[in-house]
Structure 1
Amino acid sequence: MAIIYIIAYQIRSSVTNKYTVRYFIPALTVKIIGAIALGILYHTLYGGDTNNYYRHASIIYHAFGDSFSAGFELVTTSGDVTPAIKQYTDRMWWFGRGSNEYFVIRVAGVFALLSFNTYTVIAVLFAVITFSGMWVMYMTFAKIRPQVYKELAIAVFFLPSVFFWGSGLLKDSLCMGALGWLFYTFYRGAIERRNILRCAILGSAAVAVILSMKVYILLAFMPPALLWVFNESTSKIKSTVVRWIAKPIFLSVGLMVAGYAFVQISAADARFNIDKIGAQSKLTADYLQGVSNKEQGSGYNIGEQDGTLGGMAKLAPQALVVALFRPFIWEARNPTMALSALEASYFIILTLRILWRVGILKTLTAISTTPVLTLCFVFSLVFAISVGISSGNFGTLVRYKIPLMPFYLSGLYILQSITLSAKSLGNRSSFRVADNSPQMARTSFN
């Protein structure tokens, strides 16, 4: 802990400014607290994934002790079992080419070497690398809309579900960190067009990390992210005539590229092939609903699935509500569900308040004309529908949905700021003017 905080204080000045510096150490601290708290909860009450990751990492740690080459092969293997590692892989039920869990085990195995195989230190190191991605996500949002940097800190760092489930020794932590880096590289490299080579390398690494564990995050994020880039490109064209001519062209190209990305990513994992998504969703939901029957009524039912894309589309409205706004307060059955219910209640209140104060039409106009809002809400809604349909269990849903929560809440805060600024200026065109106001120039972020 001392080493981590010494490094954090040393680098803080180079990754913050006078507005964000106050959040750097507190944000890191809540990530560490979340990682330790999750370990305590799983070790004392739940059991489950994080304990299994640790057991597998321990096998790699002891393999390094027996033979450095065997340990190194376990970390770098492509899934082939050789005589040098067979005695270890026989004890690792998550080992294999088709295992999405083994990437976590590789990382945990390396961290085990740095911690003398101590669970808490491994979990804290997971929190630290996750925090790096969350911090660049926050700085990107804050640069886009610095007027709400305080609210954005809440959205990215201080939601209980995000820093609890997204900090410890789990797949969710690495995916959250990688998603933050991917968001940053899109903005820095594709929109600002700065450090393009570095952003390409970092972005490719982030894609590889997510692809190794949860490909459906990429399926939901890449199409709106590419659309975001094309929308930003057209918005920078000064000539109104040229912009109106170019926009349909950019939009068409963006949709084609996004569709191609969707097909290529889904092809990388047979479970998410377009023809099989509906069937896979039904299989997952049926399994998790069966589990929930043993977990004190934590399940939910939004309707019968038939295993087709059409069937999923019919359930989309219910799935959207359950992922964004449930569990309701009266549905909470344990402390973790109660925290999730409080967050969902806040989402409901903030969403309704914006719709009431701004109006549905102006809200939709702001979302459609502000590229970052298009990204935030399209990604959040698509992701919410997918996890809402496939979960069937509030306990699982609260983990599955954490990638959308910073984007949805950040989108709400940015939307509220832009629409209220536009309302005070008294014209619709001020949705874009507000982003370039003198106030923003004075508070710009580097």
Structure 2
Amino acid sequence: MDYRDFIVFPIVAGVIYIVAYVIRPSVTDEVTRRYFFPALTVKIVGALIVGLVYQFYYGGGDTFNYHTYGSRYIWEAFWDSPESGLKLILSDGYDDRGVYRYASKIAFFRDPPSYSIVKIAAIFDLFTFSCYSATAALFAVFCFVGMWQFFQTFYQQYPHLHKGLAIAAFFIPSVFFWGSGLLKDTITLGCLGMATFQIFQIFIVKQPTFWRVTMLLLSSYGLYSIKIYILLTFLPAAIVWVFLFNLGALRSQAIKTIIFPFVICAAGGLAYFATLKASEDNPKYAINSLARTAQETAYDIRFQTGRDAGSGYTLGELDGTLGSMIALAPQAINVSIFRPYLWEAKNPFMLLSAFESLALLLTTLYILVKRNLKVFSAALYPNTFFALVFSLTFAFAVGVSTYNFGTLVRYKIPLMPFFVVSLVLMLDYSNRDRNVDVLEPTEY
């Protein structure tokens, strides 16, 4: 922290709240208005706490590498020469001709996904005079915008579930903490929320506009360039979601039943093709390399990056084959959503994560055990199916490739809102008196 945090941050925060106050009437109604400022505030507070934790608890870390040892050098370059600053903003992270004096100091210059965050922070720095807390607050605002759109996606269909949907989108402790600071997770979570909303509006509500298509492309590119594996798990689920909604628009139950298997196969094939295209520029995430990538990532985090954290876990032997990875799927999903258990907590942050995991476990068991077989039928509704497919697939992906609870609590935050949404929807369906038609389109 320096003097800028005490001078610039209050000004930037004031501007944020003034702008929020002006736009709130156009993005809320009488019900959602109550969540707008609390949700924005927890994001900004979360961003500040992340900075304090990294500075005083960890003594440094990624957030400072993105800013103090990253974007601040680009900001200084702009002051010295706008041309140099612009070159750094447009750089792919490899070409340092003419800007080596700055690029050589940037911690993540040779790491394109991380350097993307440095460049975003540098753009925000231009408006905050490279004030860490103010730039972090703008990261939080970006994520808030994306998660507000995520919230609207489901609220428009289930206005009576506003409380549960608001909790899923804004008030899960690990999400508003790790998804608020100057980190990759904040930007990717915001992009994920935006992409979900735009897909809903374009392909399900069928109200495409130039702005919505542009936002979908930009948010998808953000996921692709920062954490491609999020896009690789999101695309298949989103494609199936759209197919199921369009199938549900058919009136004849007999036709639905006949067409349903073909729709699933077509959606699966399209999802597979989309995955291939999304990963073709990154060999590590090609289909035939996923198992090896998972093995290398897991062992690096477990035995190198996280060797001193005291929070490692193991699921079994990963030998780099797809079979060994799939065999660990149940354990990987369990560890991502329901662990660490209370007795596995080794520090205060793990203990908080353990209480959150316990709450999810108890809620899930209550819904499955107490709410009869309606729950399983409800899981086949388009929205519930989409949320479950993405959250469980993502839980498998991060659980099998992390092997460290301290890292996992950050990596898993994209799945958490989706999983909680699926619980909220299944609980609602199970409380209905009428039978659930698994192919009936949800009203919005």
Counterpart in 2 of 1:441? none
Query: What is the CA–CA distance in structure 1 between the aligned matches of 2:28 and 2:186, rounded to whole Å?
Result: 23
Superposition map of 1:339-350 within 5 A: 339-350=352-363
- Alpha-carbon distance, 1:80 to partner: 4.8
Distance in 1, matches of 2:189 and 2:93, equals 25
Q: Which runs of 4+ in 1 moved over 6 A?
A: none
Higher alpha-carbon deviation: 72-81 or 262-271: 72-81
- Equivalent residue letter for 1:340: S
Residue among 339, 350, 354 paired with 2:367: 354
Could you tell me which of 52, 57, 75 is aligned with 2:89?
Answer: 75
Alignment of 1:25-424 (within 5 A): 25-46=37-58, 47-54=60-67, 55-96=69-110, 99-290=112-303, 291-295=305-309, 297-359=310-372, 361-368=373-380, 370-421=381-432, 424=433
Report the more deviating stretch, 196-205 or 74-83.
74-83
Using the TM superposition, give the Cα deviation of residue 198 of structure 1 relative to its aligned residue in structure 2, in angstroms: 2.5
Secondary structure of the 1:276 match is helix
Q: Deviations over 1:366-417 (max 9, x none)?
A: 112x001111101111100111111100000000000000000011001100
Q: TM-score with structure 1 length normalisation? A: 0.93
Question: Deviation string for 1:174-216 (max 9, x for gaps)?
Answer: 0000000000011010100113432221111001001111000
Tell me, in whole angstroms, the C-alpha distance in 2 between the residues paired with 1:17 and 1:412: 25
Secondary structure of the equivalent of 1:100? helix
| Displacement after TM superposition at 1:83 (Å) | 3.4
Match of 1:20 in 2: 32
- How far apart are residue 11 of structure 1 and its match? 0.4
**Any conservation in 2 of the 1:134–1:157 contact (CA below 8 Å)?**
yes
Question: Is 2:256–2:439's contact at 8 Å kept on the other side of the alignment?
Answer: no
State the secondary structure of the residue aligned to 2:196: helix
Distance in structure 2 (CA, Å) of the matches to 1:396 and 1:365: 35
| Equivalent residue pairs, number | 429
Give the whole-Å Cα distance in 2 for the aligned partners of 1:135 and 1:199: 15
* 1:432 Cα offset (Å): 4.0
Deviation string 1:9-42 (CA, Å, 9 cap, x unpaired) is 1100100111111000000000000000000000
Q: Which residue is 1:439 aligned to?
A: none
2:204, 2:245 within 8 Å by CA — same for their partners in 1?
A: yes
Equivalent residue of 2:312, what SS? coil
CA contact (8 A) 1:418 1:431 kept: no
Aligned to 2:20: 8
Once residues 233 and 262 of structure 2 are traced to their aligned partners in structure 1, the CA distance between those partners, rounded to angstroms, is: 23
TM-score, with normalisation over the residues of structure 2? 0.93
* Matched-pair contact (CA < 8 Å) for 1:190–1:196: no
Is residue 223–residue 258 contact of structure 1 (8 Å, CA) maintained in 2? yes
Q: State the Cα deviation string for residues 247-272 of structure 1 (Å, max 9, x = none).
A: 33333321111110111112231211
Paired residues of 1:220 and 1:382 also in contact (CA < 8 A): yes
**Structure 1: gaps spanning 5 or more residues:** 437-443
SS of the aligned residue for 1:103 comes to: helix
Alignment-mate amino acid for residue 228 of structure 2? V
Determine the C-alpha separation between the residues in 1 that align with 2:158 and 2:62.
38
Q: Is the 8 A contact 1:147 1:417 kept in 2?
A: no
Secondary structure, aligned partner of 2:112: coil
**3-state DSSP class of the match of 1:390?**
coil
CA contact (8 A) 2:96 2:103 kept: no
Distance 1:325 1:294, change over 3 A: same
Q: In 2, distance between residues paired with 1:431 and 1:412?
A: 19
CA distance in 2, matches of 1:430, 1:228: 13
Tell me the distance in 2 between the aligned counterparts of 1:419 and 1:409. Answer: 15
Q: Which runs of 5+ in 2 are unaligned?
A: 1-12
State the distance in 1 between where 2:351 and 2:82 align: 46
Distance 2:228 2:135 in 1: 24
Q: CA deviation at 1:93?
A: 3.8
SS in 2 for 1:317: helix
Q: Which whole-Å CA distance do the structure 2 matches of 1:409 and 1:79 have between them?
A: 37
The question of 1:429 aligning with 2:443 is answered no
Is the CA contact (8 Å cut-off) linking 2:429 and 2:436 kept in structure 1? no
2:284–2:290 contact (8 Å) kept in structure 1: yes
In 2: Cα distance, 1:411 partner to 1:144 partner = 14
1:81 and 1:89 in contact (8 A); partners too: no
SS in 2 for 1:34: helix
- Contact residue 93 and residue 115 of structure 2 kept, 8 A: no
* Identical positions, percent: 40
Q: Please report how far the alpha carbon of residue 90 of structure 1 lies from its aligned counterpart in structure 2 after TM superposition.
A: 1.8
The CA distance in 2 between the partners of 1:332 and 1:111, in whole Å, is 36
